[in-house]
Structure 1
Amino acid sequence: MIKHSERLAATALRREQIDAGDYYIAKLGAGEVLRILDLEGNQAADTLFFCADDPAERYSATDTIREQGNVYLSAGSVLRSTLNRPMLEMVADTCGRHDTLGGACATESNTVRYDLEKRCMHACRDSWMLAITEHPEYGLSKRDIGHNINFFMNVPVTANGELSFADGISGAGKYVELKALVDTIVLISNCPQLNNPCNAYNPTPVECLIWAA
């Protein structure tokens, strides 16, 4: 569902551009709003969410899909935790649909999907591991890497139940906004993938903006 925001960038508390292949990690207080902005279009932002008071409780694709009865995310979707607790609500979305099934690229999946020589290419799981290594203050470890959301990525489910990676449906300037319902750690890998045609083989920057509760 398309829903525009009335929030102005000039009133954001914080804003930061994330280059393709880089990561973003931050804490959202309950009530704060995060906007992920697709600056140039069709760029996947692979995102993980954790409850700040206990990161072992984290975003669950299973609980979220079951409770909303839809495999896609858009305005109105409530992201739920592994304890089935509401974590964040998508309060605005100008893209219309986001993937919660396709998972994140890794060196292993680069090998399987593309070619053995692609194994050593940078991947989103590498970015997450770098983030938690460089920021031990968030209390995250490798075992905390689980379900993720691919904001702006188009992964249709075919008639026979398979996943297909299709051309993106986002565009320059489109965004999604999420309101934290609990204190939340957000970890984003701005996907560096060079082998998938959905971004025209050209990963580009995204921007994160945060507004006060």
Structure 2
Amino acid sequence: MKHELPADAAWSVPVRAGRAITLTALADNANASVLIVGADRLDRLNIPDTLKSQMTARIHVGLVLMSDRGLALATVTESTLDWHDCLTGFLPSHLLLLELAKHGLGAADLHGGINFFTKVAVSSAAALSLVPGHATAGDSVTLRADQDLLVFVSTSAHPWATTPAGGVAVQIGTAEPGDPEGLRPEALRALELVR
């Protein structure tokens, strides 16, 4: 299945465990704000725990995206970019709220998400700044669903962007089996809990 979202649009899709979710930038300056919720509504993406347990401040290949119960939701398996933002949130939220409502969810379910294709650098003084021109048309990132999921995507511009965002294609396909080589113990435990 493939769905193309123009700029300033939103879409949601259920994804079965073991499937691949590939996001592809259709134009320069794309931004895909993504929320991930377990299909059973018990698990949702927990950015602080994901970052802290794997000692990073960015989303990159090999990172296991964890829920607030410590379970693996999805694993980043491929990316043409080495940095995706998860520190700065997303705007406007009304697009995601409309998609959440389609699945019986609401404002209380808006939680930390990921801005794929966007890089926000952290300076030595702990200041954050948007890196312009980080993504170009054709850049892509692939996640493997580690449990049944609801995935919500908005193509609104990053809140700090000064240029309009480009569209994004979302493709759901078959995922390759995961390779646990090099994963931190916390990530391995999160994956084992959903097998």
TM-score tier after normalising by the smaller chain length:
0.7 to 0.9
Secondary structure at 1:164 match in 2: strand
Q: Does 1:183 align with 2:114?
A: no
Secondary structure at 2:144 match in 1: strand
Counterpart CA distance in 1 for 2:160 and 2:16 is 36
The sequence identity of aligned pairs, in percent, is: 26
Structure 1 residue aligned with 2:9: 22
* Alpha-carbon shift at residue 193 of structure 1 (Å): 5.7
- Listed one character per residue, the Cα deviations across residues 150-206 of structure 1 (whole Å, up to 9, x for unaligned) are 001110111111211221311110100000000011001111469723xxx122211
| 8 Å CA contact 2:120, 2:130 repeated in 1 | yes
Which blocks of at least 5 consecutive residues in structure 2 are unaligned?
176-195
Which blocks of at least 5 consecutive residues in structure 1 are unaligned?
1-13, 106-122
| 8 Å CA contact 1:194, 1:202 repeated in 2 | no
The Cα RMSD (Å) is 1.5
Structure 2 residue aligned with 1:130: 98
| 8 Å CA contact 2:90, 2:158 repeated in 1 | no
Counterpart CA distance in 1 for 2:60 and 2:157 is 24
| 8 Å CA contact 1:194, 1:203 repeated in 2 | no
Aligned length: 175
Structure 1 residue aligned with 2:35: 48
Q: Does 1:84 align with 2:70?
A: yes
| 8 Å CA contact 2:130, 2:160 repeated in 1 | no
Structure 1 residue aligned with 2:192: none
Q: Does 1:208 align with 2:155?
A: no
Q: Does 1:196 align with 2:161?
A: yes
- Listed one character per residue, the Cα deviations across residues 15-44 of structure 1 (whole Å, up to 9, x for unaligned) are 000011110100110000000001112211
Q: Would you tell me which structure has more helix in proportion to its own residues?
A: 1
Counterpart CA distance in 2 for 1:212 and 1:26 is 15
Alpha-carbon spacing, 1:75–1:195, altered in 2? closer, same or farther (3 Å):
closer
Counterpart CA distance in 2 for 1:93 and 1:35 is 9
Structure 1 residue aligned with 2:19: 32
Counterpart CA distance in 1 for 2:125 and 2:106 is 36
- Listed one character per residue, the Cα deviations across residues 55-77 of structure 1 (whole Å, up to 9, x for unaligned) are 24200101110111001111111
Structure 1 residue aligned with 2:52: 66
Counterpart CA distance in 2 for 1:148 and 1:49 is 8
The one-letter amino acid paired with 1:69 is M
TM-score where L is the length of structure 1 = 0.78
